[in-house]
Amino acid sequence: MALQSALYWRRNMLVHEIIEHNGAKYKYMGNGPTATGGNPGWSMSPDVFFRCIVCGYIMNGDPDVDDGCSCGKLHKDSGYGRLGSSLGDNAIEVFCRV
């Protein structure tokens, strides 16, 4: 329950957040697969980025690249087409290129 409360608070704080990464700007879209427009799962694209809520690592949404954050909570396996967090899908923050 504490994780859900923390995520709810964090989502409300991020509503208008824009971040810069590698010279480009990205707007916070929400948490989980629905924030990517995927139906019902994740929609992957190089213009979408995912951020780990624990370590802050920013992961490119390119579906052809494996990746993982430094704390081990967020991971992407391109071979199997999987993206996930050990904290659950709603613990993944989604950003898109502005």
66-96 tens-digit pLDDT: 999 999 999 999 988 899 999 999 899 999 9
CA distance 16 to 23: 19
Distance CA 76, CA 43 (A): 13
Number of domains in the chain: 1
* Residue 47 and residue 33 in contact, taking contact as beta carbons nearer than 8 Å: no
Q: What is the pLDDT of residues 20-73, one digit of tens each?
A: 877 888 899 988 999 988 678 898 999 899 999 899 899 999 999 999 999 999
Helix (H, G, I), strand (E, B) or coil at 79: coil
**Which class for 91: exposed (0-12), middle (13-18), buried (19 or more C-beta within 10 A)?**
buried
Q: Measuring CA to CA, how many Å separate 75 from each of 8, 15, 56, 70, 71?
A: 22, 24, 13, 10, 10
Can the peptide bond before residue 63 be classed as cis, meaning omega within 30 degrees of 0? no
| pTM for the structure as a whole | 0.80
d(CA 65, CA 15): 28
Residue 95 near residue 11 (C-beta atoms within 8 A) = no
**Domain limits at 80?**
2-97
